Amino acid sequence: MTKSELIDAVAAQTNVTKGRAEMVVNCIFDSMTEALKNGEGIEIRGLGSFTVRQYKPYHGRNPRTGEPVNVPSKRLPFFKVGKELKEMINAIDAPDDPKDNP
């Protein structure tokens, strides 16, 4: 599912237009991005939580050329799946469709 398919599904399940559904979906992800930018965590009960993790700088290597590269310190978002969604996902019993996970 892509963002536009999510927007279509929201419009189909509610009585709002696609245009308004799009504004809502964008507003949700924009406000989440903004919170993460400010270093703030996000907790969506049932879905999961996002935290910002600080990574220290390290000396790495370009795996292709073996050349040493300096990787600067960085911040990355980390997602931890919530209990309800974890259980829903774990209950999937059919094997993966290979074309979904190339």
Partner 1 sequence: MTKADIIERVYETVGGFSKKEAAEIVETVFQIMKQSLTTNRKIKISGFGNFVVREKKERMGRNPHTNQPIVIGARHVLNFKPSQVLKNALNAEDGN
Find where tokens 């040493």 sit: 68
Show the binding pattern over residues 37-66: x = contacts partner 1 (CB under 8 A), - = does not.
Answer: x--xxxxxxxxx-x-x--------------
CB of 80 to partner 1, least distance (A): 9
DSSP 44-81: ETTTEEEEEEEE--EEEE-TTT--EEEEPPEEEEEEEE
Neighbours of 76 (CB within 10 A): 10
List of residues contacting partner 1 (CB under 8 A): 1-3, 6, 9-10, 13-14, 16, 20-21, 23-25, 27-29, 31-33, 35-37, 40-48, 50, 52, 74-79, 81, 84-86, 88-92, 95-97, 100-101
